[in-house]
Chain A
Amino acid sequence: MKVILRLIGLAVLAVPVFAGLALVPEGQAALPGVAWGPVVNTALVMAGVAGLCGRAFLANALAVTTLILVPIAFGGGLVAWLLEIMGGVSPAAAGALHGAHYIRLTLNMLGVIPLALALVASIPFDRLEQGLLRRERGIATGEKYLLMFIRVFHHIVYFVIPNILEVMREEALLRRFSETAPGLTGRRRGRVWVRRLMAGLVQVGVSGICAALRFIPLWAREIDDLPGRTAQQHRSQL
């Protein structure tokens, strides 16, 4: 399928989902406190993403959605439920107080995240970069900035972050940062733990920034050397 058609299809799907518009009239609820609107929107997104981007993409997008969803919807729901119980509300009543909110949130995320991922994945960044580099008439200043943005974004997402995560995993950095010195107890132990963790996060942040900025001067020179789209060039081609 052509990229532009896919993007238009996804954009049409995005209107009711991102704007919170219900495609079915409000009437009977699907579940107590949950209208049919979000259920229909989510089902439409699933069908639309599967149709436009393929079932394999939908499966991957749903896996990512679940990873984001679990701590937010289930963790948040559990904390809200526990807070109500601590406030003296019975477990059943506490569940009823926030249940509908978290089901709506889950439905919203199941619709919004795969759609946002499909939109981002459908933008042909590689082809965009290649297209900009192959222009015969030279490229405009704005396009040079766009080229720089795309290159930096790619570099960080596909090289910097995976490398940092790999190093952190291999060297068990977070565990080492949060290990406390033996013999310390109570508040002092807690203070040392916080200080070490902060120092570790600073170290990770500095490595990330340095790796992210490493090639920028080189790329700036390379992109700057590309032929600009000047008025003289236009005239000579007419």
Chain B
Amino acid sequence: MTANTQMKQLVLVGITAAFATLAFLGTTVIRIPLPASGGYFNLGDTFVMAAALLYGPLVGGLVGAIGPAMADALGFPQFILATAVVKGIEGALIGLLAGKRPRPRRVVIALVAGVVVLVGGYYFFEASLYPLLARRIPFFGVTDPAAALAEIVPNLLQGGISAVIAFGIWRILARRNDR
């Protein structure tokens, strides 16, 4: 590995660490409870989405898989699996759809797809996979199809608000980078 390549990779690791930490803190600080399942919604997604838009699918996916899952470790360890998978896919997909030089329209499409993954992914985990896993491992017995259904609207709100803020952050920082 040449010195230049290693330097670039170190910068990439630093950026991933920075966004993962911001996503972790964004998830931990702003928590709004959901009575149906005992879970909560947060704004950590903003940093996952912004990382994917600014630095592409690899950084977006890693930030999504690491940051919010670290936050779940403090309080809701049952949701670590769902969060790491769903938000990892969300970040990677947004980065892929936005492309290398994203235009506002593509960014909006990417963010909408990300919100769909967020809502659909959590519904799949909480309505199907967790009840199935809970038959063997009681640790996962924290949700059921009714609770998952009740979480669709709050998750949609969480994704929507995060997407709007991420779009604003992308517009400011992308313009700064272009100069």
Partner among B31, B34, B73, B164 whose Cβ is within 8 Å of the Cβ of A68 = B31
CB pair B17 A152 closer than 8 Å = yes
Closest residue on chain A to residue B72 by CB atoms: A116
Residues of B within 8 A of A83 (CB): 35
CB pair A212 B169 closer than 8 Å = no
Residues of A within 8 A of B17 (CB): 148-149, 152-153
CB pair B31 A76 closer than 8 Å = no
CB pair A79 B169 closer than 8 Å = no
By CB atoms of chain A within 10 A, which of B7, B25, B38 has the most? B38
Given A148-B14, A216-B15, A223-B10, A71:B21 Cβ within 8 A: no
Partner among B7, B34, B169 whose Cβ is within 8 Å of the Cβ of A205 = B169
Given A76-B35, A209-B22, A199:B168 Cβ within 8 A: yes
Partner among B35, B164, B165 whose Cβ is within 8 Å of the Cβ of A80 = B35
Task: Determine if B153 is an interface residue (Cβ-Cβ < 8 Å).
Answer: no
| Minimum distance in angstroms from A162 CB to a CB of chain B | 11
- Select the stretch in A46-54, A105-113, A130-138 that faces chain B: A105-113
Per the 8 Å Cβ criterion, residues 1-44 of B in contact with A are 1, 3, 6-7, 9-11, 13-15, 17-19, 21-22, 25, 31-36, 38, 40, 43
Binary contact track A211-235/B, C-beta < 8 Å → 1, others 0: 0110011011101100000000000
| Minimum distance in angstroms from A80 CB to a CB of chain B | 4
Dominant SS among interface residues on chain B: helix
Given A76-B38, A113-B74, A212-B22, A224:B10 Cβ within 8 A: yes
| Minimum distance in angstroms from A225 CB to a CB of chain B | 9
CB pair B25 A79 closer than 8 Å = no
CB pair B139 A19 closer than 8 Å = yes
CB pair B46 A216 closer than 8 Å = no
- Chain A contact-residue range equals 35 or more
Number of A-B pairs whose CB atoms are under 8 Å? 129
- Chain B contact-residue range equals 35 or more
Given A145-B13, A153-B17, A72:B138 Cβ within 8 A: no
Tell me the complex Cα distance, A149–B63, Å: 12
Task: Determine if A7 is an interface residue (Cβ-Cβ < 8 Å).
Answer: no
| Minimum distance in angstroms from B73 CB to a CB of chain A | 6
Per the 8 Å Cβ criterion, residues 102-127 of B in contact with A are none
Tell me the complex Cα distance, A83–B35, Å: 9
Tell me the complex Cα distance, A71–B7, Å: 44
Tell me the complex Cα distance, A54–B18, Å: 31
Smallest CB-CB A-B distances: 10 pairs:
A202-B168, A76-B33, A80-B35, A216-B14, A220-B10, A152-B17, A20-B139, A212-B18, A149-B17, A156-B21
Taking A71-B33, A76-B33, A199-B168 as given, write out 19 further A-B residue pairs in contact, using a Cβ cutoff of 8 Å, ordered by the A residue number.
A68-B75, A76-B34, A76-B35, A112-B75, A141-B6, A145-B10, A148-B10, A151-B14, A152-B21, A153-B17, A153-B21, A201-B165, A202-B169, A205-B168, A205-B169, A212-B19, A216-B15, A219-B14, A224-B6
